[in-house]
Structure 1
Amino acid sequence: MDKREKVVVLIGPTAVGKTKLSIELAKRFNGEIISGDSMQIYKGMDIGTAKIKPSEMEGIPHHLIDIKKPEEPFSVAEFQELVRLKIAEISQRGKLPMIVGGTGLYIQSVIYDYQFSDAPSDERFRVILEKRAEAEGNEKLHQELMEVDPESAKKIHPNNVRRVIRALEVYHCTGKTVSDYQEKQQPELIYQTAIIGLTMQRDILYDRINKRVDLMVRDGLLPEVENLYMQGLKDCQSIQAIGYKEIYEYFQEHLTLEEAIIQLKQNSRRYAKRQLTWFRNKMNVNWFDMTDAVNLEGFEKKLDEISTHIEGKLQLKSNT
C-alpha cells in the first residue's frame, strides 16, 4: 500500500483560470491551497501578481502568500523546504494539500526527488571543502558552485552546505555538473501526485491576458508599483517580476505609460508561452483544455472531468 502523502498540483499559464478552479476543487476534496507562485510570497505586491483576494478564497486556507518583504530574496531551496513542511502539516490535519501556480521550477523542486548516489565521490576533497566552509563561510562555496553549475546553485540554499559541497564534489570528480546527472535521470515523485495542467486555445488565452492587464491597471497597479518605487526598491528579485519592471520603466521615464502597458501585455503573453513549453518538457502532466470552460456550463463540466481524474489518480472521494 502506498503510504506517501497525497498532493494535487494545478499548473498552467497565467490567466488560464487556475484560481477559480482551485477553489472549487478544494471545496470538493477538503483541500488547502499552497501558492506555487514565486512572486505571490511578497507583501504589497497584490495586483501585479494576480494574488487571490481574501473575499475570493471562500473560506479555503491559502499558504505561502504574503510571507516576505519585497526587498527580501527568495530561493527555490527555501520554497522547497517551506512547501514540504506545509504538505506534511496539511496532511496531518486530514486535509488535501493542493499546490496551485505557474512557477514550474519551484513546483518541480517540491514534488520530485533526484538521487545522486551513483555519482563518484572524493572524501579527501569533501573534507577540504568542509574546512573551507568553516573558515571562509558558506557564501564563498556557494559562489564557486554558481560559477561551475549555476542551475544547481539556484536550487540549493547557501546554508545547505552539505548539498553545495556534494555538487562541487561531483563536478570535481567527473567534470560534469549535478544538473547533467539530473538530465539523465528519471526523477521520482516524492508524493502520490495528481498533476493537472490547464491549457487554452492560444488566441483566447492571449485575449484573456490582455484584458487582465487592463483590469490590473484599472484596479490600481500604478499606485501599487509607485509605492515600491518610492521606497527606493530597485535592485531586488521582486521588482524583476512581470508587471513591476515595465511600470518601473515608466516611472523612470524610459517609457510612456502606453508603451509600458503594451510591453507588459507582450511580456505576459511570452511568459505564458514559456510556461507551457516548460511544463510539457519537464513534468508528467495530465492536460485539460479550458477553452470551453469560460461559461458556467462548460466550467462545471470541466470541473467534473478533473475531479473524476483526481478521484482515480489518488483514490479519493469528492464531497459531491
Structure 2
Amino acid sequence: MKTVIVIVGPTAVGKSRLSVEIAKRFNGEVISGDSMQVYRGMDIGTAKISSQEMQGIPHYMVDIRDPNQPFSAADFQSYVQYYIKDISSRGSIPVIAGGSGLYIQAALFDYHFSDQERDVQVTERMEKQMEEEGSMPLYKRLQEIDPAQAKKIHPNNRRRVVRALEIYETTGMTMTEWQKEQQLTSPYRLLFIGLEMSRELLYRRINERVDIMLEKGLLDEVRGLYEKGLEGCGSMQAIGYKEFIPYFKGEQSLERSVELLKRNSRRYAKRQYTWFKNKLDIPWYEVTPDSINERFATIFNDLAGILEET
C-alpha cells in the first residue's frame, strides 16, 4: 500500500513551507492540494509557491490549466492519483499540501464520480434557462432543495449549480445526500498532519498576507485576467479575484474590495477548519511564528517514528 503524507489546514498557516521541509527529510515530492493553483497566471492571489521556496523539490498540480478551462474535483482526483502512482514508482513519498478539502478527500478516498453520468438533456435545458433568465432563478431553486450545497456554490458558478440540480432531478437525491453516501475508504496509507493557529493570530496573518499580495502586484494580476474577458470563468470566482471585479467596473472602491478580500479570506479559513475537523480524523499541531521551528521538529520526529514502522 502506497504511503501518502497529507498536510492540511487553513490558508496562511504554513502548509507549503512544511511540505517542502518534509519532502527534503523523507525523500518526498509535493503535490499541491489547492484547487486554484492549477491555473496559469493566477500566482499572487492563490499564494502559489515560488521556485526559490520549492528548494529544488519537485511540485505537481501547479500551472496545468488556463484560467478559462474548467477543472472539477473529478479532474483533480484523476491527476492526483496519477502523480501518487508516479512518485511512488520512483521510491519517493507523495506529500500533498493544501486546503481544498473536498478535492483532497475526493482524490484520496474512494469517490466514484462516474456513478452518476451526465443527463445531457437536463443539462442543456438548465443551461438554456440560465442564458435566458440568468443564474439566480436556478440558484434560488438550489437554495430551496439543498441549502447546504447552495452555501458552497457561488451563484455565478453556473456549472456547479447545474450539476447539483441535475443530480437532484435524475436521482431524487440532493448533492449533499449524494456526497454523504460516498465511501471513505482509501487505497493509500494516509499520514495526515493538521496545522492550526489561534484565530486571532491567524486572522492577523491573513490580513498581512493580503497586504503583501497587493504589494507584489495582485491588482495588476487580476486586472490582466479581467481585461482578457475571463470574468465569467469559474477560476475568477476564487477568493482574491472576484472581490476586485466590482472595482474594475466602477461599482466599488478599492478600499472596499481589499476589505472584502480580507473578510472573505478569514471566513474561508474558518470554513476550512470546520470542514477538516468534521470530516477526517487528523492529528493537529498548533503553530505560532515563534514556535514554528520547534513544532516542525516535533512533526518530523512523529513522522519518522511512523515511517519506521513500515
Q: 1:114 to 1:230 in 2, by over 3 A?
A: closer
Count residues in correspondence.
Answer: 278
Corresponding residue for residue 161 of structure 1: none
Q: 1:252 to 1:170 in 2, by over 3 A?
A: closer
Q: TM-score scaled to structure 2, two decimals?
A: 0.80
Corresponding residue for residue 80 of structure 1: 77
Q: Could you tell me whether the CA contact under 8 Å between 1:194 and 1:314 is conserved in 2?
A: no
Corresponding residue for residue 312 of structure 1: 305
Q: TM-score scaled to structure 1, two decimals?
A: 0.78
Q: 1:114 to 1:235 in 2, by over 3 A?
A: closer
Q: 1:223 to 1:194 in 2, by over 3 A?
A: same
2:107 to 106, 110, 127: 110
Corresponding residue for residue 66 of structure 2: 69
Unaligned runs of 5+ in 2: 127-137, 154-158, 160-166
CA distance in 1 between partners of 2:175 and 2:40 (Å): 34
How do 1:169-180 and structure 2 match up within 5 A? 171=171, 175-176=172-173, 180=177
CA distance in 1 between partners of 2:62 and 2:81 (Å): 15
Q: 1:142 to 1:170 in 2, by over 3 A?
A: closer
CA RMSD of aligned residues (A): 3.1
For residues 124-155 of structure 1, what are the alpha-carbon distances to aligned partners after superposition, in whole Å with 9 as ceiling and x for unaligned?
xx9xx9xxx8xxxx64466799989997xx9x
For residues 238-297 of structure 1, what are the alpha-carbon distances to aligned partners after superposition, in whole Å with 9 as ceiling and x for unaligned?
100111011122111121111111111000000000110011111121111012xx13xx
Q: 1:144 to 1:230 in 2, by over 3 A?
A: closer
Corresponding residue for residue 24 of structure 1: 21
CA distance in 2 between partners of 1:170 and 1:229 (Å): 36
Corresponding residue for residue 277 of structure 2: 280
The amino acid that maps onto 2:237 is Q
1:95 aligns with 2:92: yes
CA distance in 2 between partners of 1:193 and 1:209 (Å): 29
Q: 1:43 to 1:182 in 2, by over 3 A?
A: closer
Q: 1:181 to 1:79 in 2, by over 3 A?
A: closer
Residue 263 of structure 1: SS of its match in structure 2? helix
Residue 81 of structure 2: SS of its match in structure 1? helix
Q: 1:237 to 1:300 in 2, by over 3 A?
A: same
Corresponding residue for residue 10 of structure 1: 7
Corresponding residue for residue 162 of structure 1: none
1:203 aligns with 2:225: no
Give the drift of 1:29.
0.7
1:245 aligns with 2:242: yes
Q: Could you tell me whether the CA contact under 8 Å between 1:193 and 1:314 is conserved in 2?
A: no
**Structure label with greater radius of gyration:** 1
> Identity percentage over the alignment?
48
Q: 1:170 to 1:240 in 2, by over 3 A?
A: closer
Q: Could you tell me whether the CA contact under 8 Å between 1:310 and 1:316 is conserved in 2?
A: no
Q: Could you tell me whether the CA contact under 8 Å between 1:170 and 1:177 is conserved in 2?
A: no
The amino acid that maps onto 1:14 is T
CA distance in 1 between partners of 2:84 and 2:69 (Å): 24
Give the drift of 1:15.
0.5
